[in-house]
Amino acid sequence: MDRESLSEWAKDKPLSILQLDPADRAVLRIAVLDAYRNVENFITAVCAFKRTYINMSMSGIDVSEWTIVI
């Protein structure tokens, strides 16, 4: 991660983040990006499950007893 991209990322962040040293800001940025990826993966999995559920119910398979645990 180069200094220029880190500076660009930090432009719209609160003062408390800007007071961190560059190494800590880089770690924080990586953690935020990783959290976004986890949310995207979760949404993708839910959409795939929903498509499967709809396809199975339309095929006449009884899905009334399925339990969704998140």
34: containing domain: 3-58
The predicted model gives 7-15 an average pLDDT of 73
Tell me: the pLDDT tens digits for 38-69? 999 899 988 888 888 888 888 888 877 766 66
Q: What pLDDT, on the 0 to 100 scale, is given for residue 51?
A: 86
Residue 11 dihedral angles phi and psi, to the nearest 5°: -55, -45
Give the pLDDT confidence score for residue 19 in this predicted structure: 81
**Does position 32 have pLDDT exceeding 80, yes or no?**
yes
Contacts of 26 (CB under 8 A, 6+ apart): 1, 6
In a domain, 14, yes or no: yes
Model-level pTM?
Answer: 0.51
As for how many domains the chain has, the answer is: 1
